[in-house]
Amino acid sequence: MALLPILRYPDPRLHTRAVPVKVVDDRIRQLIADMAETMYEAPGIGLAATQVNVHERVIVIDVSEDKSELMALINPEIIEKDGEQTYEEGCLSVPGIYESVTRAEHVRVRALDANGQPFEFEAEGLLSVCVQHEIDHLDGKVFVEYLSNLKLNRIKSKLAKKARITA
Ligand code: GNR
Ligand code: NI
């Protein structure tokens, strides 16, 4: 197991489009274990491989209270979506920033599990938000890019100022 460094916005590597996993092997299972450890330590409720500078389509999620429901999704796809919900989102790659984003309320997701077996599930509420947020990361999109330019520029200034202090 290993903790992996998390890329911080506006690192341009966060805009990389991840490629599908071809073979679900021990390398991918090790990545999942390391991503889960990194997510729990942060702590966060989800993590996309993009955020740890691995540009393959792998995400881990655990929205449970007691961190007992780890989900690993490989090559995840949203195959149905409907409705709308607005949720105050945060991101481990944009620390300290919380903003409302409107997304689908209900999604149906198809993915491969850690053994390479396809499975499907339906999600609503926080799990639905989290799956959509993580798949966006795999497509090179960070949640702040849904905001107005005015808000995005304010966030960029705030992060730049904070980076000067912490450097
Ligand atoms: O830990 C996280 N919390 C969160 C809260 C609301 C909406 C989305 C998220 S995902 C985030 C972890 C993260 O950055 N995943 O990419
Ligand atoms: Ni995120």
Query: What's the whole-model pTM score?
Result: 0.98
| CA of residue 91 to ligand 1 center, whole Å | 5
CA distances from 105 to 15, 85, 141, 145 (A): 25, 5, 19, 19
How much is the average pLDDT of 135-153?
98
Residue 74 has pLDDT above 90, yes or no: yes
Best mutation site among 39, 60, 61, 133 for ligand 1 pocket (most ligand atoms within 8 Å of CB): 133
- Outline where DSSP puts E strands in the chain: 46-48, 58-61, 71-82, 85-89, 99-103, 106-112, 118-124
| CA of residue 93 to ligand 2 center, whole Å | 6
Query: Which two three-digit tokens encode residue 85?
Result: 């919900």
3-state secondary structure of 32: helix
pLDDT score at 167: 67
Q: Is 90 in the pocket of ligand 1 (CB under 6 A)?
A: yes
